[in-house]
Structure 1
Amino acid sequence: MSDHGAAQERALDAAESLFYRRGIQAVGMDAVRNASGVSLKRLYQLFPSKEALVLAFLQRRDERWRQALAHHVEAHPAPDERILAVFDWLHTWFSEPDFRGCAFINSFGELGGISPGVAEQAMLHKRAFREYLAALVTAAGRPADLADHVALLAEGAMVTAAITGSPGPARQARSAARLLMGAS
């Protein structure tokens, strides 16, 4: 990896950790500099503004989040199991010691009203997640509207788990998804 790429990765790693743990508005570029070891001048060469850094963080997080989910889900051979595996993966994520909710929901809550770029990134992430669920539902031969229900269950579980600090909402949402699948 080039020096440019290494500095960019260190800055994004630091930004992701800080933004996710403390919130975007609470973290200044100085904190990212201190945590990454990338000089402030270099940081601004890589990311001309804090918003550019935030958008890069969200884009990378989206890619990694969706890849991790797909990797887990696709390990299950049966189509119905894949739908339910989404909730198993959410449970594992919610159980992580540093879980603080969905970065996209958090970012939208902080900046969605004043940053069209952040609002767009959150919308794109949620749309991609919904489309992924729709593909799972279609592959299972289930009615298309089940995808909307599963998406709402997953999104509700994310918010509830973040607020309560418990992974339990993933299990509850999984049970509800199983009931919906039985009814369809």
Structure 2
Amino acid sequence: MKHSEVKHRIIETASLLFYKNGYNLTGINEIISEAGIAKATLYNHFKSKEDICLAYLQFKNINFLQDLEDFASTKTKGKAQILAIFDFLNQFFMNKDFNGCWCIKTVAEIPKDNERIRTEIQSQKNEFIQLITSLITNNLAPLNKTQTESLARQIYLLYESAVGESHLHQADWPIKESKYLCSLILA
């Protein structure tokens, strides 16, 4: 098997385990066993569990941003493309494997001084805010930069709240209510 295929299998396996069980409850030996590889193979690709975690976060984020952008583009131009982020979240929630936000789950498990993982998560959240900013810019009447940035952060906070609360309550009402509040601030 090619080097890149093995690495990808390790990342996919770790991603499933970290998202399902959490970072701290997933051991290196479990990743090795589930991926069907030798310990040496894992360490040929990753120096540490932290490196695997960073690859996991990046893997999840790339797929998330692309899938969300693709989904929003299928909606009618205008506010519907912005509100689509909540429809996308609702589809994600309906997936039997929904377990909340992988970033928030991970940051809750790492020590406060773990700058590498914290910085990666902050970067991903900022990329998401930029995606929302782009949706606003492309779908609403022109706003100044300050207004656009503020609106993007407000929508981001509604989305993040919807993720956490839908996971907590195991219900989609937080997503629906967040979408409604978003529609009000877009009016």
1:141-163 residue CA offsets vs partner (Å, 9 max, x unmatched): 25412212111100110111111
Identity of aligned residues (%): 25
1:112 positional shift: 5.3
- Give, in whole Å, the separation in 1 of the partners of 2:105 and 2:16: 14
1:128-181 residue CA offsets vs partner (Å, 9 max, x unmatched): 111111111122125412212111100110111111122221111111111111
- Give, in whole Å, the separation in 2 of the partners of 1:128 and 1:112: 23
Match of 2:156 in 1: 151
- 1:38 aligns to what SS in structure 2? coil
1:114 positional shift: 3.6
Match of 1:108 in 2: 107
2:98 counterpart letter in structure 1: F
- Give, in whole Å, the separation in 1 of the partners of 2:75 and 2:26: 39
2:153 counterpart letter in structure 1: D
Name which of structure 1's ranges 76-85 and 107-116 shifts more when overlaid on structure 2. 107-116
Is the 8 Å Cα contact of residues 101 and 159 (structure 1) preserved in structure 2? yes
Is 2:38 the partner of 1:33? no
Is the 8 Å Cα contact of residues 95 and 166 (structure 1) preserved in structure 2? no
Is 2:168 the partner of 1:168? no
Aligned length: 181
1:77 positional shift: 3.1
Is the 8 Å Cα contact of residues 101 and 162 (structure 1) preserved in structure 2? yes
Q: Once superposed, what is the RMSD of the aligned Cα atoms?
A: 1.3
Is 2:184 the partner of 1:179? yes
- Give, in whole Å, the separation in 2 of the partners of 1:131 and 1:159: 20
- Give, in whole Å, the separation in 1 of the partners of 2:110 and 2:124: 15
List structure 1 runs of 4+ shifted beyond 6 angstroms: none
**1:118-133 maps to which residues of 2 (within 5 A)?**
118-133=117-132
**1:44-63 maps to which residues of 2 (within 5 A)?**
44-63=43-62
2:154 counterpart letter in structure 1: H
Is the 8 Å Cα contact of residues 16 and 57 (structure 1) preserved in structure 2? yes
Could you tell me which runs of 5 or more consecutive residues in structure 2 were left unpaired when the two chains were aligned.
none
1:17-53 residue CA offsets vs partner (Å, 9 max, x unmatched): 1000000011111000011011111001100111111
**1:12-23 maps to which residues of 2 (within 5 A)?**
12-23=11-22
1:79 positional shift: 2.2
- Give, in whole Å, the separation in 2 of the partners of 1:111 and 1:32: 18
1:95-133 residue CA offsets vs partner (Å, 9 max, x unmatched): 111111110111111115142111011101110111111
Is 2:83 the partner of 1:84? yes
- Give, in whole Å, the separation in 2 of the partners of 1:57 and 1:113: 19
- Give, in whole Å, the separation in 1 of the partners of 2:173 and 2:37: 39
Match of 1:10 in 2: 9
Q: TM-score, normalised to structure 2's length?
A: 0.92
2:101 counterpart letter in structure 1: C
Q: TM-score, normalised to structure 1's length?
A: 0.94
